[in-house]
Amino acid sequence: MTPERPAVEADDLLGADGDDALSDIRTQLAEAEAAEAEARAVAAQARAKAAGLQDTEAVARPAARPRHTAGVVLAALLTGASVALTGLMLWQHREVAAQRSQDLQFVDAARAGVTALLSIDHTRAEADVQRVLDLSTGAFREDFERSADDFIKTAVDSKAVTSGTVNAAALDTLDGDSGVVMVAATSEVTNTNGADQDPRPFRISVTVTRDGGTPKMSDVEFVP
């Protein structure tokens, strides 16, 4: 049998001063553990402080906003207002242009009708009378058509030539498809005998009415 080995005690390993050595080791270990714990505590406090500063900065710092936002909005508003104003001006311009075009149509119809009415040549009396009828409508055309034959006969018998000139014409009133044009004109008369008459002035109020979209004379009144 193998003899039992005596138990080795700590005192045997450390020698006679074992108790003092163990006490020193325990003290050193305790001090090291305490130092490590203190270091961990300091690190934790540092992390907590850093986290608190970040949260405070996040609350104090306003949310980032796009730069020049106010300028962009103002520019957009100004652009929109400019576009709207330009559109309004174009619309008004078209309205004015359309009205002016209509006014001119009525004035031109009155000028053409009066010129034809005051210009009759006995050598082409029928064609001249027909031109007056073509430029007329309504009651005036009906009345002139009824007296057309007498008008032609008078021109042929007198062998006269009348030449009318419109000196000025302006729109007086306009109501839908009908308007009144004031015309200042003169008429010169000659005949085969060579007799000339001084130009005779006329002031004429001409009512112009659209007939199938075309403005024509519908009434003629000689104004004193």
The domain in which residue 128 lies consists of 93-223
Whether 143 maps to a domain, the answer reads yes
Q: Give the CATH number of the domain where residue 192 resides.
A: 3.10.450.230
> In the chain, how many domains are there?
1
pLDDT, residue 152, reads 92
- Inside any domain, residue 190: yes
Q: Specify the amino acid at residue 183.
A: V
pLDDT digits (tens, 9 = 90+) for 44-97: 776 766 666 555 554 455 554 555 576 677 677 667 667 676 776 765 666 666
| Of 76 and 161, the one with more pLDDT | 161
Using only C-alpha atoms, the chain has a radius of gyration, in whole angstroms, of 58
pTM of the complete model = 0.57
Kindly state whether residue 2 falls inside one of the protein's structural domains.
no
Q: Band of the pLDDT at 7, cuts 50, 70, 90?
A: very low
